[in-house]
């Protein structure tokens, strides 16, 4: 039995589609909108994971667009396209849990940039400062500074998840 490819459709984004995507990203992820505006080439891939589109910018799988209008960058966007977002740095003890799909808990956070509730943030390790996950802030940075326990970041994408395995193939 043949294994189905994770991407079932891929096409170059037209000018009108690019404008629509820039507008969508401007509302949910402004730095990604700027990245798309400057891109030489943009492609859109439809994934079998669900109602998920993957925006490929200059050959790098960069932005995930979910059916409900939620957008967030891939880890590769941070490393290869230098997409800047607020970053939460966690201690090395938290890393294996997050790499198994756990959300980021307040006690594991060492330092963080300023962000609002609901913001998309990167999660980086304390030793190398390398981004290894992307999440949505459940609290603002000002609330986080007063938290001693509880979930702070909902993990959306991390190194080694299904999406990671797909984007490595694209």
Task: Please give the chain's pLDDT, 170 residues, in tens.
Answer: 667 788 788 899 999 999 999 998 988 889 999 999 999 999 999 988 778 899 999 999 999 998 767 899 999 999 999 999 999 999 999 999 999 999 999 999 999 999 999 999 999 999 999 999 999 999 999 999 999 899 999 999 999 999 998 888 77
- Domain endpoint, select from 82, 108, 134: 82
d(CA 21, CA 28): 11
Q: Which two tokens stand for residue 29?
A: 């992820």
Residue 2 lies in a domain: no
Number of domains, the chain: 2
First CA to last CA distance, the chain: 22
- Domain endpoint, select from 64, 82, 100: 82
Judge if 59 and 13 occupy the same domain.
Answer: yes
- Taking each helix axis from N to C end, the angle separating 30-38 and 15-28, rounded to the nearest 10 degrees, works out to 160
pTM assigned to the model: 0.90
The answer to whether the CB of 106 falls within 8 A of the CB of 88 is no
**Which CATH number goes with the domain that contains 150?**
2.30.130.10
Judge if 127 and 153 occupy the same domain.
Answer: yes
- Domain endpoint, select from 82, 110, 130: 82
**Which CATH number goes with the domain that contains 42?**
3.10.450.120
Residue 165 lies in a domain: no
Judge if 124 and 137 occupy the same domain.
Answer: yes
């Amino acid at each position: 039995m043949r294994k189905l490819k994770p991407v079932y459709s891929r096409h170059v984004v037209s000018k009108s589609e690019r404008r629509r995507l820039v507008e969508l990203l401007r509302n949910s992820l402004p730095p990604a909108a700027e990245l798309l505006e400057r891109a030489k080439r943009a492609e859109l891939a439809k994934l079998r994971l669900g109602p998920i589109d993957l925006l490929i910018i200059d050959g790098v799988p960069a932005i995930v667009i979910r059916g409900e209008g939620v957008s967030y960058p891939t880890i590769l966007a941070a490393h290869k396209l230098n997409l800047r977002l607020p970053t939460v740095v966690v201690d090395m003890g938290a890393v294996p849990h997050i790499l198994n799909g756990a959300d980021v808990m307040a006690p594991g956070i060492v330092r963080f940039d300023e962000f609002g509730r609901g913001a998309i943030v990167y999660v980086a390790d304390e030793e190398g400062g390398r981004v290894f996950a992307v999440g949505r802030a459940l609290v603002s940075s000002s609330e986080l500074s007063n938290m001693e326990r509880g979930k702070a970041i909902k993990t959306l994408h991390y190194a080694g998840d299904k999406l990671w395995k797909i984007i490595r193939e694209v």
